[in-house]
Structure 1
């Protein structure tokens, strides 16, 4: 498991400028949009209100979005620390710090979004950001980093587009998931899923406003679950359309959704076009393939197509060889037809100018796939035991992009998928899907006599990881997943009380290696040993509300993970107005795509050797102690004009005076209670600090005593036994003597083995030596062969040389005679073509004899070398 190197640094703690990015005290216009969501209860659990674009972070504080650069925050915090002096008064330094924090720490991004922001999501191309509330989605065009980091620190008005002004509104069902499609063209494809199981796929373009109003694909999962024909109407219902009662309204209540692979990890096969949907009752469904009209792969599209063709060809061959059911044959035919309909062309990337291969979604067998599921857990988990809060798919086997290997052979990844489900009981169920999800469609012929029956696929429940223990039927927490930015077998979990890390590389990598390169013997036994071995490792990174006065209404933001050489492996979350961060070792660095770990960030300016100090989570005082605003001045201002003179004179017993004192006492009791609880929390923390200091001193004394016992100058013997350093020296001497004895014994055995006779030759070895001797004798024998005897290679070589000399002599004689005849008789003329043909025949004979001589010489030389050592 990775080690937590450091917790929240000073430049993110109060009163540094980085703290002001998350501070809710300076939110403007908080009451103007409050009425929009008052009638709807916000979903429990952490919200995804922090997003990052490289080193830049976007934080939603209420209905306000703030931008900041982590490097700038770190540098401003260091500069502020250097400028601070002990001679300044507290008021002066606090005013200076607030000015620095408000003017230089961040920039405010203004939007026309009404309501509390619940999620921020950056597009794969990092030029758009989805701003979500409980019911609405807005697409904002993000300025570039240089424009945001300019000297002008004033607010910026973002250009936003309302996505689905008639679909995602307060009158419709709330949102369950908003996902950017991994294969969207130019990163402009987004998928929205509502809790009433309505899925919409949007391909927007800011030059076409209609693309923000009408989805490219609209699917009602309740209709699709009961569909038997692809020609049916599966379109999601509009606002004015009323639907009757159906049991699917409760069984298909969506909790969350995710794609089989993210856009950051270059996976292949069906994974990036598979949408996994988790229902609140624990049912899991899959939609494959879910594609826009125009889609692209981030890089190397041809290997991606080959990875699609392999399972299609395998299914086609199996269906031809075996007598499968009608559904299997139909699926094979549909996949083959779908793959044959893929058309691609070249398109230019608007950012880099590179040429990309853009593909067109096939027309047949149709854009709407079959809803696969529900997946059955084996062993089963009681449905009343939990309610699903989030889902994530881990694909560590698909995180490599071996371009060189693709040129030689297609990349063959195992079809297993790791599906993690979080529940409101504080548990995470890790499930394995071994068969792999492939593209499936409903049949085209609705009039067929046989209605296909689909078998529910299985999910192997591998283990259950428990974050918090639930007492009875009480809800423990609402976990939210965060994927590993490097695509490893690590999952980060955010709850209302802290951040956790779950490492699965101990069993995931051996399982993937075994499934990728299976051996014939003992494969089932080895896989069973892997599954029964060590499971996932759970570690708590940060815990909120240690001993502070807890405000249950303060929202919690889910963590984000940033892998950066400067910051290290950086986790960032927030609870209320307090940011929480941690730097950890790069998990599973050996299994990353680049093969290089991320260097941890050095927080201190002093450099030295490795730091083995125990990291402590910094104490954050309650917010009421440093940001308390009393309401008593407002009460004095609200006193009627006819009674204000009573505030300046002596107290007189009257009804007006009693009313003023009663109202002031009522407010004072509440404020003193809050301050008292915050002060008691601070006092408890001080006592705990004393106890921790005592524990540290005791541990240091124990370590010092142990070191003294080992290396100290104490008595050599106590009660007849060696102690201290004498005991260690005696043990070293014993080990050295044992090592020397083993070396001598090994040398004796080696000498004894060298003197022993060699083993007898086998029959094959004897036959081989006899053949070599026979070949050697044949090579050395140059006597003429007898009648009926086969000539040896040396004899054949002599015959070839003699034949060559005779042919050369004949050619020379013929050439001489031809010249003489030409001089003697000029009237006799030989045609040039005849002479040319004769010469060509002779040259061919010479070349053939030369080749035979060279081949015989090479063979003779090779046989001579082979038999020379025996």
Structure 2
């Protein structure tokens, strides 16, 4: 878990220039009836209005995009702070001295609607050239300027070159845009890229952009209507979305398949499952999940391990299914389709990537196969049981963590060391799906079967077949809350932000909080159990593992109500920076203030296993520093009251003598309404500062009291010690202190031993193979249980009689054996008699006493075992009689 070292740094707080990056120049006053109420995040979706490119950040403030380099802003603040310490006068004004501004404005030609999503393609080698600006009904692709513009002293706004994506597709009469995703396997250059848009009516469109071809911005290369595809029976059908202005009709899927969010399962890494980066997961608001695999553009890049991994998985599977019985016909058909799809890729010659393209290292460029079809089959719905009575989950966002690459099959025949090095310890062989709902809960699910490429069959004559779409079950690992119960009723749209250190760690941003979740330790234990060859007791260990905490949760940021200008202001989806200049920084903002948290780099997976020192003191919790509420910086509503609330024909009468009239009463009422809202916000800000001061005084008194108590104890201890460091003679409390110290050391050693014993026991319990004695004991128990199960056919009194007869038979056999043993021992000659086997002059060989003891011990163990069996049977009979 990351440790928060500090909250919003000084270079992002007022009155530093960096604070102006995320605050409006003219903040409106809160709670005015005349102003339009801002849309809540629940109504319009997530507010991903902040994006990053290296150290650069893009943020949407009102109807403008602000662009800045945080590392340069931090350096400028540090230089000003040093100048302020060395200079006797006031600091210089940056605008007057021609210094570099803290940010630059970017102008666009639209802004009819407020932007809700900013999306930058994550680059593998260089800076991303495009920025996707998504509003509720429009999508614009902006060409990002060079970073050198930030080092200029010019303060004029930069006009971005933008292209509207689908001007006749994403329009007001159509469904709003939910997601805009850059394809992880698409070709991205300075002149183009590949982006996938998903609308609320479950329409998926693939756009292959080319700045030299404006038609690529007007029409997608691949368009799929999921509402048609879910009921499709043949790949020859038309699955294109309904055109603009055409009547779509009514269908139950309009509500059941309303899209909440979507994402790709992978990012094109060589260490993840080969199907993952070409799998699009779509989450519907009621709670169903669908997967579309493979979804590829016409030209795509395949990482170096993709084709070998698919070959090593598809070819052996096809060979085994061809020898299987006829009941696996559907699986055989799907595997044959995968083989045909893969064979067409193998027959191709890799294409030359475009110049200056941002391709994955070692990747080859191929053309999308046309056989079986360019449109894959819609897999799903995937569902999970939450245990709640409500049917609709009201899903908000989805994040998928791809399964690891099966390195064992890929490296078959190679050295074992290479196979071990190719796999990572913190990767799971299953797919983890994380979901957020409108009530602020995070659901963590596990999908173990894997999603592979599937297509609909070709149409056949005189053949009718109803499409089968059976729901698949997901394993719900855990459901956690991100907000308090008192805040559950507030409008919230939780969104995910991936961590930069671990694939299985992420941040969740909702209305007023940012929480951190980590599944790294659980994933390591689960993968060790899944890869274990010993299956004895596996179900029990898995149940214990699932009953434990799956994800560790920690709150990173909390926004107080006094910092909000307008109630229910939603925090923008957080972004995470990690580099030398900024460190490990989490950044978000709302229209009032920026919020940040500087954190320590989490420990490595191996060092995380080292237990903390027993008895070590816990760190005191940190609290965010006080920030001046934004209402104190907001523009006074009385400055523009006349222009907004007084009609033009009545403005001349304001200078005349006041007359009692309905118009004057309306004017006074409006002024009172505006002024009371403003003064109420000022009072809340002042009262919050007063409460903080009182709390600070109380905490300082408590700290001083504790310091005085510690000082008295130290003084009492040091008074018994002389100047030479030895205890004075006749000290009264010397012996008592020594006893307490010895007792504390003994207690510390005992706790350490107990902790080590428990730790070793837990480590040995997971994935450890059973010994020979344990296996023999398990086999004996199984044989005994089978012997009882054979007698379970008779019912009632017959079953009791059978068990009673067996018990009496065992008792008689034991009695006869004991009596026979006693008679043999009585008739046997004593060891001292002549002629006995153990006598010195006996003719028979002498038996050593050690062998006799061993035989007797074996006999005693056999008797004890039979006695234990008899006792178990007796207790079972007693329980059966009691139950009867």
Could you tell me the TM-score, scaled by structure 1's length?
Answer: 0.73
Q: Does 1:345 align with 2:351?
A: yes
Counterparts of 1:447-466 in structure 2, within 5 Å, are: 447=461, 448-451=463-466, 453-466=468-481
Distance 2:559 2:476 in 1: 31
CA positional deviation for 1:491 = 1.1
Listed one character per residue, the Cα deviations across residues 442-465 of structure 1 (whole Å, up to 9, x for unaligned) are 111344355453432220001111
Q: Does 1:214 align with 2:212?
A: no
Is 2:188–2:357's contact at 8 Å kept on the other side of the alignment? no
Is 1:161–1:212's contact at 8 Å kept on the other side of the alignment? yes
Is 1:8–1:581's contact at 8 Å kept on the other side of the alignment? yes
Is 2:108–2:161's contact at 8 Å kept on the other side of the alignment? yes
Is 2:40–2:491's contact at 8 Å kept on the other side of the alignment? no
Distance 1:709 1:251 in 2: 74
CA positional deviation for 1:653 = 6.5
Aligned residue for 1:237?
Answer: 242
CA positional deviation for 1:267 = 2.6
Q: Does 1:109 align with 2:106?
A: yes
Two-structure CA RMSD over aligned residues (Å): 4.2
Distance 2:508 2:496 in 1: 5
Give the 3 Å change call, closer, same or farther, for CA 169–707 of structure 1 in structure 2: farther
Distance 1:40 1:684 in 2: 29
Distance 2:441 2:485 in 1: 9
Distance 2:749 2:391 in 1: 64
Distance 1:730 1:670 in 2: 64
Distance 2:674 2:444 in 1: 51
Listed one character per residue, the Cα deviations across residues 587-635 of structure 1 (whole Å, up to 9, x for unaligned) are 464389xx9xxxxxxxxxxxxxx99775321112221112332425653
> What are structure 1's unaligned runs of at least 5 residues?
29-33, 596-609, 740-870
Aligned residue for 1:167?
Answer: 169
Aligned residue for 2:874?
Answer: none
Q: Does 1:278 align with 2:276?
A: no
**Which stretch of structure 1 is more off in the superposition, 481-490 or 135-144?**
481-490
Aligned residue for 2:737?
Answer: 724
Counterparts of 1:450-599 in structure 2, within 5 Å, are: 450-451=465-466, 453-470=468-485, 474=489, 477-516=492-531, 518-519=533-534, 521-545=536-560, 547-548=562-563, 551-552=566-567, 554-587=569-602, 589-590=604-605
Match of 2:199 among 194, 202, 207: 194
Aligned residue for 1:626?
Answer: 633
Is 1:22–1:574's contact at 8 Å kept on the other side of the alignment? yes
Distance 1:101 1:10 in 2: 23
CA positional deviation for 1:155 = 1.5
Distance 1:142 1:442 in 2: 41
> What are structure 2's unaligned runs of at least 5 residues?
29-33, 609-616, 722-726, 753-884
Report which of the two structures shows the higher radius of gyration computed on alpha carbons.
1
**Which stretch of structure 1 is more off in the superposition, 171-180 or 713-722?**
713-722
Distance 1:477 1:204 in 2: 34
Give the 3 Å change call, closer, same or farther, for CA 707–282 of structure 1 in structure 2: farther
**Which stretch of structure 1 is more off in the superposition, 675-684 or 407-416?**
407-416
Matched positions, count: 709
Could you tell me the TM-score, scaled by structure 2's length?
Answer: 0.72
Aligned residue for 1:849?
Answer: none
Give the 3 Å change call, closer, same or farther, for CA 45–582 of structure 1 in structure 2: farther
Give the 3 Å change call, closer, same or farther, for CA 87–359 of structure 1 in structure 2: closer
Aligned residue for 1:74?
Answer: 74
Aligned residue for 2:693?
Answer: 686
Is 2:42–2:493's contact at 8 Å kept on the other side of the alignment? no
Listed one character per residue, the Cα deviations across residues 78-99 of structure 1 (whole Å, up to 9, x for unaligned) are 223234479999xx87x93787
SS of 2:574 mapped into structure 1: strand
Aligned residue for 1:325?
Answer: 328
SS of 1:347 mapped into structure 2: coil
Is 1:349–1:355's contact at 8 Å kept on the other side of the alignment? no
Distance 1:118 1:87 in 2: 44
SS of 1:257 mapped into structure 2: strand
Q: Does 1:22 align with 2:25?
A: no
Q: Does 1:142 align with 2:139?
A: no
Give the 3 Å change call, closer, same or farther, for CA 434–351 of structure 1 in structure 2: closer
CA positional deviation for 1:670 = 3.5
Distance 1:472 1:728 in 2: 48
CA positional deviation for 1:241 = 1.5
Is 2:8–2:595's contact at 8 Å kept on the other side of the alignment? yes
**Which stretch of structure 1 is more off in the superposition, 568-577 or 263-272?**
263-272
Is 2:121–2:130's contact at 8 Å kept on the other side of the alignment? yes
Higher relative contact order, structure no. (Cα contacts within 8 Å, ≥ 6 residues apart) = 2
Aligned residue for 1:118?
Answer: 116
Give the 3 Å change call, closer, same or farther, for CA 528–306 of structure 1 in structure 2: farther
Aligned residue for 1:860?
Answer: none
Aligned residue for 2:455?
Answer: 441
Distance 2:272 2:100 in 1: 43
Is 2:435–2:443's contact at 8 Å kept on the other side of the alignment? yes
Give the 3 Å change call, closer, same or farther, for CA 691–312 of structure 1 in structure 2: farther
Give the 3 Å change call, closer, same or farther, for CA 3–487 of structure 1 in structure 2: closer
CA positional deviation for 1:71 = 0.8
Is 1:11–1:17's contact at 8 Å kept on the other side of the alignment? yes
Give the 3 Å change call, closer, same or farther, for CA 589–27 of structure 1 in structure 2: farther
**Which stretch of structure 1 is more off in the superposition, 527-536 or 557-566?**
527-536
Is 1:27–1:64's contact at 8 Å kept on the other side of the alignment? no
Is 1:572–1:580's contact at 8 Å kept on the other side of the alignment? yes
Q: Does 1:418 align with 2:432?
A: yes
Counterparts of 1:562-711 in structure 2, within 5 Å, are: 562-587=577-602, 589-590=604-605, 614-632=621-639, 634-635=641-642, 647=655, 664-698=671-705, 700=707
Distance 2:293 2:260 in 1: 19
Is 2:130–2:143's contact at 8 Å kept on the other side of the alignment? yes
Match of 1:185 among 184, 187, 205: 187
Give the 3 Å change call, closer, same or farther, for CA 213–122 of structure 1 in structure 2: same
Distance 1:416 1:292 in 2: 26
Listed one character per residue, the Cα deviations across residues 457-486 of structure 1 (whole Å, up to 9, x for unaligned) are 220001111112446994663211111234
Is 1:416–1:435's contact at 8 Å kept on the other side of the alignment? yes
Listed one character per residue, the Cα deviations across residues 615-673 of structure 1 (whole Å, up to 9, x for unaligned) are 321112221112332425653996989986975x9x77676988876665554334323
Aligned residue for 2:809?
Answer: none
Listed one character per residue, the Cα deviations across residues 182-227 of structure 1 (whole Å, up to 9, x for unaligned) are 1111261111111111111111111111111111110100000111
Is 1:15–1:98's contact at 8 Å kept on the other side of the alignment? no
Distance 1:355 1:736 in 2: 55
